Copies of this chain bind each other. A is one copy, B any other.
Amino acid sequence: MGDTYAGKRRGRQREADRNDARLFQAAREVFAEHGWDAPVSEIARRAGIGMGSLYRRYPSKELLVQRMRIAGMEQLVAQARTALAEEPDPWAALVRFFRDALADQGTGGPLLPLVGGRLPATDEVLTAAEQLRAALDALVDGAHWAGVLRADFTSADIPLLLEHLTPRIPVTGERATALHLRYLDLALAGLRTPDPGQPTALHGTAPQWAELRDLWNAPES
């Protein structure tokens, strides 16, 4: 986001800024499509810059991925806050959040903070995860308070549900997003508080944030 006041940089520095933005977007897309196995050269190619420029900004692939997953978590936080701020109804806010998150994924963000439990947790990652937890808790607590969200669905379910709704399929672009939203529609119906007639608890035990942490980060070395 606005880490530089992009004001009066000129010439080559201007080009550097453009490169940075393109690089960021390309990395989002390519990692979203190929996961950790995305070739760095493909990112450079799609960004229209050279390998040298890429490696000047990010000295290793690992650093690039760490930056991306932090950005992904921060975007989820922003989307949660926006939904909460702009939708007065708690249920509408929840729906809005899921739709925004999925649509963004469709246009190619690795919004899923999972790069597969392959990378160690840095302080930045843990901080972002903590903010994500807070933002999702706000969404979920609001809906629970209003009684519209089933009680056995927790904030830690959200990242897992998003993961389930955005599998890697050999389709990209708008059609992929449409399919993701299609099955989100099904899941949303299941999120409403069920009629008292049928208790129908969800399968399994509710996930905890500690479980997500273990799942997102590599076991410490």
A residues with CB within 8 A of B = 37, 114, 116-117, 157, 160-161, 163-171, 175, 178-192, 194, 200, 202-205, 207, 215
Q: Which of B175, B183, B205 contacts A161 (CB 8 A)?
A: B183
How many copies of this chain does the complex contain? 2
Query: Are B179 and A204 in touch, CB under 8 angstroms?
Result: yes
Nearest CB of B to A79, in Å: 18
Give the interface SS of chain A, mostly helix, strand, loop or mixed. Answer: helix
Nearest CB of B to A181, in Å: 4
Query: Are B167 and A167 in touch, CB under 8 angstroms?
Result: yes
Query: Are A178 and B205 in touch, CB under 8 angstroms?
Result: yes
Q: Which chain B residue shows the least CB distance to A187?
A: B186
Residues from chain B with a CB closer than 8 A to the CB of A164 are 164-165, 167, 179-180, 183
